[in-house]
Chains A and B, each alone.
Chain A
C-alpha cells in the first residue's frame, strides 16, 4: 500500500510521517508516533477520549484523517505542560481529585483548555455544555467541573 506523506507540527515540533490514506489521526499519533496520551474509547466520535486540537480547534482525532493535518498545528496532551511546569488545569485536576481511573482525563484537559481559551470566565452551564462531548464514567463530572471552575478563576487572577 502506498502511503501519504504528511508534514505537520505537533506541540510545536516539526513532524513528518507516512500514513495510509484511510488512517485516522488517532492511529497515527498512537501507533506511528508513539503518542499514546490520546485514547480510543469508541472510534466513532462519541466519547472525546481522543480529543486534540488542530489549529486551535477541538476535534476528535478518531474522526480526522492523518492525511488532513498536513501543514496544520496539532496540539495533544503531551504538549500541555511546559517543561516541568504543569498547566493550571493539570494541577487542579490532581488537587481536586477530578480523575479516578484517568482514561478520559487527557481528553477532558484538552477540551477544557479549548473551552477556557475561548471563554476565560464560563458559567457552570457553559462548562457543562463545553465538556458534554467527553464521557467520564467514574466521577459523575462533579469534581471535573469544580477543577475547571477553579482553574478559570486562577487564570483570570481572580
Chain B
C-alpha cells in the first residue's frame, strides 16, 4: 500500500526522546567491525602503486620483475580492467580514476596494484614495478586552469552549456546559470554595492577511518565485498559494471563506517581489490594509508567566486550576482552548479543571477563533502551581505531578516518554497542570549546563514515480526551517526512497541532491494519514510491475523497502542491482542508476519541554519580561537534530539577547521605537500569550545512526521560566520579561506600601514 506522506501532526510517545543507541555497546568495547577489522581465511594483502607526478603519459609499465617475486599472487594494471562502460562518460571517468589508463592525471593516481601473501612482500613488489612516464605540463589552481595558456588535461572536453559549443577543448567542462529578474536594473537601483572575489582552498572530509575492503571473487563469477561505504548498493552496482559481473552475483556487506561525510560515496580501490581477487582466486584485503586517503580519495573543490550584491539604504537587496568557479579535480563534474544553486537560497531576491563554471585541474577527483559546494558559496554571499550591512549602518541580523526567503518565495535556483525555517532561525538568533553577551579585547562576533536542499531517493525497508513478538527492521542505508536509533524509534512509534523490542540492522545487498547512498541528509528522512510505511503495512497484516483469530472481518479490527482491537462494539467484544499474542499464533493464521515498503522518497524539505560565533584573534601571531559558538537550525522534526545536536555540532566543527586551518597545499611540482594529519590539521579537542545548539522544528509537509534531514546544513555557515567575526574583532575583511595565522597576520599588518 502506498504511504500517505503528508505531515499529520500526530502526538508522539517515543519519537523525540533520547534512548540509548542499539550499537553503542559494540562501539565502546571495540567489538564493532569497521572496514579494516575483517579478515577472510587465506586472504592476500594488496597495495597500490601510485603516480608521483601530477600529469604524465604512461609510456610503459613493466611488472615482470615483481611477478617473479616469491609470494606475489597477482598484479593488475589498466590492461586487467578493460573499458566496459559503453559510452557512459561518468562510469568511464570512475574507471579511469580507479586506475590510470594512458595518462596519470594527479599526484597519487593509481597505475598498478599488487596482491601478495603479506604486506612486506607486497611492498617489495611495488618497488619492482617499473613505470616509464613522459612528463606533461600540469595545472592545479582553479583560476590558472581557465587561462588560455593552461595545459588542457582532457582533449575531448568541450564546454557544455555555451552556444555555440567551442571547437577547442578546455579545462572548463560546463557552464550553467540560475536566477530571475534583471540584475542590471537591480544594481542601478542600489544605493550601496559590495563586490569582491573570494577564494577557498581545497579541504578533505577527514574521516578517521581510511578506506578499506576485503574482496572475494570466485572463478564461477560470484563475489563478495566487505567494505566501509556510505552506499553499499551503489558500490555493488558500479563495481559489477566495471568488472563485467552480473549485479546479483556480487554481494556487498557494509562494515561499520568510521566517518564519511560524502567521501565514502565513491569507489576507488574496491574494483582493484575485486580484480586482484579474481586474478589470484583468493580473498584480497586492501586498506588505504592516511597518505593515500589525502592524495587520492575525493576531497572537496577549491574555489574562486566573484560576488556582487547591491542594496538600498533601507536594507532591501536590489540585485545579487555571483560567478562561481569550482574544480572537480582531474575529471569533469558539476560542483560549481551546486554552489550556484545554493548561493542565494536564503533570500527573497527580485533580481538574482548565479553562474557556475566547472574547472578541471590536476588534483584528485572531487567527491561530495557535507552539503557539497554550499559552504564556499555561502562564504562569499554571507561575507558580502555582512559588509553591506556595515556600509548601510544596519544590524547584520536585521538586514538578513528583511531579505529572508519565506513561504511562497521563488528561490534563486527555481522552486517556490513551502514552509521554511530561515526566518525562524534568524529571529531565534536575534533573541539569543549569545547575541547580547559581552566581548573582550581582540574579540569579535559574527553570524551567517546557510542552506541545503536535502535529498530523498530510492529506499526500501523490511520489517519482520519474530515468533516472540519482537521485531527486526532491515534497512539499506548506512548508519553514519546514530540512524539505527532514529529508525528504531520510528518503527516502535508506529507499531506501539517498546524501543528495546525493535532491532534495526543494515542488510547486505542480497537481502534487500536497491537503496541509494546515505547522502544528502537522506538517511532518517527517506529510510524513516520507508520504515513508517513498512510498519503500517505490517500492522495491516497483524490486524488481518487478529481478525482471523476472532473470526471477524479484517476491516472490523483497528490497531491502537500496540494492540489489535475490535473496531467497535458491533465488531465483537474481544480483549485486545498484543503483537506477542498475534505472533505466537502466526503459524496457524497464515505464517510469518512482515511488512515491506519500497519507495522513492520525494518531497525532501529544504533546510536552513543561522550560526553565531565569537572569536579572539591574537594580533601578534594572527592565530584565531573560537570562544563561543551557537548553531540554530530547523530539523523539521528531531527524531532523536541527541544525534540531531551531534550533527549540528559536528558540522560546525568541520566548518571551523575549514575556516581557520585546513587546506591542501600543492607544490610547484603539482605534488601534495601535506598529506597527513600533522600538516593537514583538523580541529582537536583543545581548539574548540562547547558548541551550543538550538533545534527548531518547522515540519516538512511532505513527511508523515515532518522530518527534513539534519546532516549537512551545519557546515554551511561557519566559514562566513568566522570571517564576519574576524572583521568585527580586528577590522580585517578576509576573502581567502582558510584564515590561517599567516594570512590573518598579513591582513592585519596591511591594515596598519
Contacts and interface: CB of A to CB of B under 8 A. Distances in A.
B27 A139 contact: no
What is the size category of the interface that chain A forms with chain B? Answer: 35 or more
B563 to A, nearest CB: 31
B690 interface: yes
Nearest to A95: B20
B482 A39 contact: no
A86 interface: yes
Contact of B18 (A97, A103, A135): A97
Contact of B677 (A40, A42, A132): A42
Given A39-B208, A138-B650, A140-B691, A101 B686 contact: no
Task: Name, among A43, A100, A103, A135, the residue most crowded by chain B CB atoms within 10 Å (CB to CB).
Answer: A103
B20 A137 contact: no
Contacts of A106: 28, 30
Contacts of B654: 137
Contacts of B652: 140
Interface string A34-71: 01111111111011010000000000000000000000
A99 B683 CA distance: 16
B650 A1 contact: no
Interface stretch (B132-140, B253-261, B422-430, B452-460): B253-261
B155 interface: no
B230 to A, nearest CB: 11
Interface string A135-158: 111111111111000000000000
Contacts of A143: 642, 645-646, 649
B25 to A, nearest CB: 7
Interface in A114-150: 125, 127-129, 131-146
B129 to A, nearest CB: 22
Contacts of A81: 29
A90 to B, nearest CB: 4
A105 interface: yes
B259 A135 contact: no
A8 interface: no
Interface string A61-105: 000000000000000111011000010001001111101111111
A108 to B, nearest CB: 9
A109 interface: yes
Contacts of A103: 34, 207-209, 256, 258-259
A7 interface: no
Given A39-B258, A94-B21, A102 B685 contact: no
B435 interface: no
Interface residues of B, number: 57
A137 B658 CA distance: 12
Contacts of A1: 120
A44 B675 CA distance: 12
Contacts of B676: 42, 44, 46
Interface string B669-684: 0000000111000111
Contact of B678 (A46, A99, A139): A46
B480 A101 contact: yes
Given A39-B258, A76-B30, A103-B258, A137 B206 contact: yes
Contacts of B650: 100, 137-140
Contacts of B120: 1, 20
A104 B482 CA distance: 15
A101 B30 contact: no
A107 B480 CA distance: 19
Contact of B29 (A47, A77, A95, A97): A77
B33 interface: yes
A38 B30 contact: yes
A66 B381 CA distance: 53
B688 interface: yes
Interface centre among B24, B37, B210, B260 (most CB of A within 10 A): B24
B692 to A, nearest CB: 9
B554 interface: no
A41 B210 contact: yes
Which applies to chain A's interface (DSSP): helix, strand, loop or mixed? Answer: loop
A77 B34 CA distance: 15
A107 to B, nearest CB: 9
Interface string B650-669: 10111000000000000000
Contacts of B23: 102
Given A46-B678, A94-B25, A144-B685, A101 B210 contact: no
A44 B677 contact: yes
A100 B480 contact: yes
B623 interface: no
A142 B482 contact: no
Contacts of B21: 94, 97
Contacts of B690: 142, 145-146
Contact of B646 (A46, A77, A97): A97
B649 to A, nearest CB: 4
Contacts of A41: 208-210, 258, 290, 677
B338 interface: no
Contacts of B208: 39, 41, 47, 49, 101, 103-104, 135-137
Contact of A97 (B25, B287, B643): B643
A131 B685 contact: yes
B208 to A, nearest CB: 4
Nearest to A87: B28
B31 interface: yes
Contacts of A105: 27-28
A16 B88 CA distance: 54
Contacts of B683: 140-141
Contact of A90 (B29, B258, B642, B643): B29
Contacts of A31: 39
Given A1-B120, A100-B650, A101-B207, A40 B482 contact: no
A129 B686 CA distance: 5
Interface in B255-274: 256-261
B107 to A, nearest CB: 19
Contact of B642 (A97, A109, A125, A131): A97
5 contacts: A37-B31, A86-B28, A94-B20, A103-B258, A140-B650
Q: List the 5 closest pairs (A to B, CB-CB), nearest first.
A: A37-B30, A103-B258, A140-B653, A102-B27, A100-B481
Given A36-B36, A77-B29, A93-B28, 10 more contacts: A41-B210, A43-B290, A80-B28, A80-B29, A86-B25, A96-B642, A137-B206, A137-B653, A138-B259, A139-B653
Interface of B: 18, 20-21, 23-25, 27-34, 36-37, 39, 120, 205-210, 256-261, 287, 289-290, 480-482, 642-643, 645-646, 649-650, 652-654, 676-678, 682-688, 690-691
